[in-house]
Chains A and B, each alone.
Chain A
Amino acid sequence: MIRTAAFTREQLRAPFTLVLLVAVPVIFVVAAAGVLGDFARAQGGSLVGDAASSLAAGWAAAFIAGTLGFFQATSSRGADRRLALAGLGPARVAASRICASMLLAVIAAGAALVALLAGTGVAHPWHAFVAVLAFAVIYLAVGVLIGSLISSPLEGSLAVVFVFLLDVFSGPGMAAEAAPYAISRKAADVLIAAGSGGATDTADWIRLALVTGGAVTVAFGAFVFAARSRA
């Protein structure tokens, strides 16, 4: 708990980070709400109205969490190895880092969701909350995974951008048919259903839980690998 709090404080030390974590998703959701339906139609997708706006909240939370996870994993690589060597162990370092990032991702996801609920009439707000959170957690895992493999900040952040844009343009609502490599498509399915008042069946919830849990497990493994001593 103390370690998680310390790692969270470390990320918030830079000026404006907390402000941006809240302001960026809110501004993006508000600005994108009016245009995503038109954009989806131009892409051959079928999104309209509140379902399109809902997706903006998921995307904002996803990108914020992805970059957060990346910088959490890469900026502290040397220090984390020393912490692991000093007796903390790579698993506990990884758990604390991922929990710290998750805490910040929840703030960003919450801000995006509040903007969404304030601006639109989402039919199932709790479903939307879970889906936005799933977007954030999946991308947190993507960021941690990339940060564990790529140490340079420019290449790593470009890789996060690449995965994000690939996913966004290939996901449900933006393409006539979602591509199998669109990693957030299960979260997007639930979010679109929540926005348009549709039902989400049990199988979809289970698939979403499996994708999210699988992503966190892979990221945890990669972080442990990166944090362990090579001495």
Chain B
Amino acid sequence: MSRVTTATRLGFREQTRRPLLLVLLVGLPFFFITRSIAATETLPRTLGLPGGGEVLTNMRDIHGTMMAAITVAFLVGLIGVFVMQSVRQADRRLVLAGFTPAQALAPRLLILLAAAGLVLGVSLAVTALSFTPRTWLVFAAGTLLVGITYGLLGALAGAVAGRLGATHLMLFGAMLDLGIVQNPMFGTGEPPSWAMALPGYGPGRVIVDGAFSDTFHAGGELALSLAWVLVLGAAVAVVLSRLVAIDDREPARRRRKAHRLPANTA
């Protein structure tokens, strides 16, 4: 336990040495959510709510709602890519020094959660300046689920696709999923049926429900979101534990191979 505490404390200290990161994590959501709401016209728009209802609102409110989700998705996704990529570099040394893979990964996950919390807090605070959701708790829960889902996706993408590929996947993924497919600003005002297959569907519908409905109708969508989080969390734990654990076993393998070599060649 003390190992995890020490590694977590050092991990947070490492983040405090990066003031530009803090500026960007606060400045980006503030600027883009404020600007999106201010620049959008109040054109009337009917959108479909979870549970089958409809509501007449306007493009400005919808854009403000979805921009918070898009911003949280790509920012936390990118944090997931780069925080977890450092597992490959620094944390393999921790494992060699005696940490278990879980002890090495826990501080990274805590840093990811803290960064997600910061981005979420700023995004919700900025949204509150210009738009009041009907049910704050549901709206905030949906946005949190977007952040966790995309943070985990970013961690997986960083492990599989490299930094460049993962960066492309996170920005375009968030834009396509939450910015276009799930966005009630476009089409009929409701996502198409195939949109359910995307990770943004569940949390996107929870956000819409919280933003525009007084009563909660998105139980199925919430369950779907939680299922995504559980599956992605398990996948991240397996992939990253293997990344760290393989490096731990490598010297022993090399020693065994070197030990066997004379017998085989004899």
- A interface residues, Cβ below 8 angstroms from B: 11, 14-17, 20-21, 24, 27-28, 31-32, 34-35, 38-39, 41-44, 60, 63-64, 67-68, 71, 75, 150, 152-155, 157-159, 161-162, 165-166, 169, 175
Contacts and interface: CB of A to CB of B under 8 A. Distances in A.
B162 A31 contact: no
B21 A154 contact: yes
Name A's interface SS.
helix
B90 to A, nearest CB: 14
A162 B176 contact: no
Name B's interface SS.
helix
Question: For this complex, into which size category does the number of interface residues on chain B fall?
Answer: 35 or more
B75 interface: yes
Contacts of A161: 28, 74, 78, 171
B181 interface: yes
Contacts of A43: 39-41
B82 A16 contact: no
A155 B78 CA distance: 10
Interface of B: 18, 20-21, 24-25, 27-28, 31-32, 35-36, 39-41, 43, 59-60, 63, 74-75, 78-79, 81-83, 85, 160-165, 167-169, 171-172, 175-176, 180-181, 183, 185-187
Given A16-B161, A20-B169, A169-B35, A162 B28 contact: yes
B165 A20 contact: yes
Contacts of B41: 41-44
Contacts of B21: 152, 154-155, 158
Contacts of B160: 15-16
Given A27-B176, A41-B43, A67-B168, A14 B161 contact: yes
Contacts of B163: 14, 71, 75, 153
A31 B186 contact: no
